Amino acid sequence: MPVTAAIGAQWGDEGKGKVVDRLAAEADIVVRFSGGNNAGHTVINERGKFALHLVPAGIFYPHVVNVVGNGVMVNPEALVEEIEGLEKAGIDVGKLVISPRAHLVMPWHILQDAAIERGRGENAIGTTGRGIGPACADRALRISLRMADLVDDERLEAGLRLNLQLKNPVVTGVWQAPAYELEPLYERYRALGRRLRPMVQEAYPLLRQAAADGKRILFEGAHGVMLDPDFGTYPYVTSTPPGVSGIAQGSGLGATDLDRVVGIVKAYTTRVGAGPLPTELHGQTAEDLREAGDEYGTTTGRPRRCGWFDAPVVRYAAQLNGFTELAITKLDVLDSLRTIRICTDYTIDGKDVAFPPGESQLLARCTPVYEEMAGWQSPISALSTYAALPPQAKAYLVRLEELVGVPINLVSVGPRREQMVWK
Ligand code: IMP
DSSP 29-75: EEEE-S--TT--EEEEETTEEEEESSS-GGGGSTT-EEEE-TTS-B-
272 lines ligand 1 (CB under 6 A): yes
Q: Beta strands 48-52 and 305-307: pairing type?
A: unpaired
Name which residue sits closest to atom 21 of ligand 1, judged by CA.
Answer: 12
33 lines ligand 1 (CB under 6 A): no
The pLDDT value recorded for residue 1 is 64
Give the Cα separation of 228 and 7 in Å (integer): 12
| pLDDT for residue 107 is more than 80 | yes
Per-residue pLDDT, averaged over 296-315, amounts to: 94
| pLDDT for residue 303 is more than 90 | yes
Render pLDDT for 319-349 as a digit per residue (tens, 0 to 9): 999 999 999 999 999 999 999 999 999 999 9
250 lines ligand 1 (CB under 6 A): no
The pLDDT value recorded for residue 39 is 94
Render pLDDT for 164-194 as a digit per residue (tens, 0 to 9): 999 999 999 999 999 999 999 999 999 999 9
Q: Which residues pair with 104 in a beta bridge?
A: 74
Q: Are 61 and 25 in contact (CB under 8 A)?
A: yes
Per-residue pLDDT, averaged over 288-305, amounts to: 92
Nearest atom within ligand 1 for CA of residue 272:
12
Identify whether 390 is preceded by a cis peptide bond (ω within 30 of 0). Answer: no
Q: Residue 12: name the closest of 217, 260, 233, 218 by CA.
A: 233
Give the Cα separation of 276 and 361 in Å (integer): 8
pLDDT band, residue 300 (cuts 50/70/90): confident
Q: Are 45 and 18 in contact (CB under 8 A)?
A: no
Q: From the DSSP assignment, how many helices (H) and strands (E) are in the chain?
A: 13, 17
Q: Are 264 and 9 in contact (CB under 8 A)?
A: yes
The pLDDT value recorded for residue 321 is 97
Render pLDDT for 11-30 as a digit per residue (tens, 0 to 9): 999 999 899 999 999 999 99
| pLDDT for residue 259 is more than 90 | yes
Q: Please give the biggest Cα pair distance in the chain.
A: 66
- Using most ligand atoms within 8 A of CB, pick from 272, 298, 313, 360 the residue to mutate for ligand 1: 272
Give the Cα separation of 367 and 221 in Å (integer): 29
Q: Are 82 and 91 in contact (CB under 8 A)?
A: no
Give the angle 227-232-238 at the CA atoms, nearest 5°: 30
Q: 209: exposed, middle or buried (C-beta count within 10 Å: 0-12, 13-18, 19+)?
A: exposed
269 lines ligand 1 (CB under 6 A): no
Per-chain mean pLDDT for the chain: 96
Tell me if residue 238 falls in helix, strand or coil. coil
